[in-house]
Amino acid sequence: MNRIANAFASKTNLLNTYFTAGYPSLHDTIPLAKALVEAGADILEIGMPFSDPLADGPVIQGSSSVALANGMSIPVLFEQLQGLRAAVPETPVFLMGYLNPVMQFGVEEFCRQAAAVGVDGVILPDLPLAEYEEFYLETFKKHGLKAVFLITPQTSAERIRHLDSLSDAFLYLVSGPGTTGGTTQPDAVTQAQYFERITALKLRNPRLIGFGIADKAGFDRACEHAEGAIIGSALIRALEDVDDAPAAAGRFVRGIKA
């Protein structure tokens, strides 16, 4: 059983934490990964910073700017990730980012190196489904990388089923309209109806809810409707202006999973 399937089979209420590689300092990537897992994070999403991240709000964009200024890039990240599996042997790890830097690096080489360092899957929100199927799917498969797709309240049932058929990791349920870290959420009833609609589709993949989840209460609510949740912006905020980022990350996760 692969790391992803194992995690979903053996645990409930999974916490997936997103953090930006190279933030707050260039060499925080592995120490943060280790601290997050030791504190109870079940899945890691490592952000590959991009200058113009369309699906992200100001917090993640800000962390990306800092990371880029620190010198983070895909080659640097892969160098750092050589130590990934020594630090977090069993935790599923996804790389999240935008298509352009991956394209410039070379998709085939990206997949090869990601697999070699022990990455389990990739989340590229601006990769169109048709392009994925035509140009990327085979390459991903060849290297054993799982693709994760986003679903929003506007995604049709037909499209959700199609996305579900193309993934064997998890489906990323965007909680409501807006970019990451958004503060405006739809009312609880509308949101619950959306999640229930997804549950009723009886999809083959587990689901994690993300966008706008900032604290324990939000995490617990999300877990009522899915296998777990994804927290990014709130974690990044918790790493701002701290002396010891891994310690701050650990405290943050313990606060959520307490």
Partner 1 sequence: MTPTISYQKPTARGYYGQFGGAFVPEMLYPNVEELRTQYLEIMAEPDFQIEMQALLRDYVGRPTPLFEAKRLSAKYNTRIFLKREDLCHTGAHKINNTVGQILLAKRLGKTRIIAETGAGQHGVATATVCALMGLPCVVYMGAVDIERQAPNVARMRLLGAEVRRAESGSQTLKDATNEAIRDWIANPIDTHYIIGSVVGPHPYPDLVARLQAVISEEMRKQLLEKTGSELPDFVVACVGGGSNAAGAFYHFLDEPSVRLIAVEAAGHGINSGHSAATSVLGTPGIIHGSRTLLMQDKHGQITEPYSLSAGLDYPGIGPLHAYLGEVGRSEFIAITDDDALAAVSECSRLEGIIPALETAHALAALGQLGAGPDDIVVVNLSGRGDKDLDTYLKNMDKLV
Closest by Cα among 183, 186, 184 to 154: 186
CB of 7 to partner 1, least distance (A): 23
Q: 51 has which bridge partners?
A: none
Q: Which of 56, 120, 164, 227 is catalytic?
A: 56
Dist CA 213 CA 81 (whole Å): 27
Dist CA 146 CA 127 (whole Å): 14
Measured from the Cβ of residue 113, the count of other Cβ atoms closer than 10 Å reads 20
Give the nearer residue to partner 1 in terms of CB position, either 25 or 73.
Answer: 73
CB of 27 to partner 1, least distance (A): 18
Closest by Cα among 162, 258, 155 to 198: 155
Which residues here bind partner 1, judged by CB under 8 A?
50-52, 54-55, 57-58, 61, 65, 68, 73-75, 98-105, 125-128, 130-131, 149-152, 154-156, 159, 174, 177-179, 182, 184
Before 89, cis peptide (omega within 30)?
no
The DSSP 8-state label assigned to residue 145 in this structure reads: P
CB of 13 to partner 1, least distance (A): 24
Closest by Cα among 96, 82, 38, 64 to 231: 96
Give the nearer residue to partner 1 in terms of CB position, either 71 or 89.
Answer: 71
Give the nearer residue to partner 1 in terms of CB position, either 98 or 252.
Answer: 98
56 tagged catalytic = yes
Give the nearer residue to partner 1 in terms of CB position, either 128 or 144.
Answer: 128
Q: Is the alpha carbon torsion for 62, 207, 114, 128 positive or negative?
A: negative
Q: Which of 45, 120, 164, 227 is catalytic?
A: 45
CB of 170 to partner 1, least distance (A): 14
196 tagged catalytic = no
Residues identified as active-site: 45, 56
